[in-house]
Amino acid sequence: QVQLVESGGGLVQAGDSLRLSCTASGRTFSDYSMAWLRQAPGKERNFVAAITWNGIRTYYADSVKGRFTISKDNTKNTLVLQMNSLKPEDTAVYYCAQSDSRFVDAYTKASDYGYLGQGTQVTVSS
C-alpha cells in the first residue's frame, strides 16, 4: 500500500529556513504527481505546492510563491519542500500527498489528493 513519511519539521524563528522531506513507497514514485499540503489549528487543509510526475511543472500557493521550492527525486523516491523566509503564518502541520492516478498533471486543490502522510509540525515563532 502507499506509504508517505514526512520528516524535517521543527520550531524555528521568523526568517529562518527549513527543509521538509517525504519518502514514498508502495507505488512507482516516478509515475505520480506529488504535493505538499498544510493545516493550521482550527483551519482546513490547504494546498501549498505541487509538482508533476516528471518534475517538469511546479505550482505554488500565492502565499508561499518565491519563498518555497518543491522538488522531486525520482531516483530516491523523495519529495522535498525547501522553505525560506518563514513567517509565523506558515505554522501548520505539513502533509506530503500523492495523486491517485498515474501520469496526470499536479492538482492544486488539497481535496484532490487521496494519499497523505501522517504530517510533520512546523512552528514559526515571531
pLDDT digits (tens, 9 = 90+) for 57-104: 999 999 999 999 999 999 999 999 999 999 999 999 999 999 999 988
CA-CA distance, 94 to 122, in Å (whole number)? 7
pLDDT at residue 90, rounded to an integer: 98
Handedness of CA 18, 119, 36, 123 (dihedral sign): negative
Q: Which residues contact 44 (CB under 8 A, 6 or more apart)?
A: 110
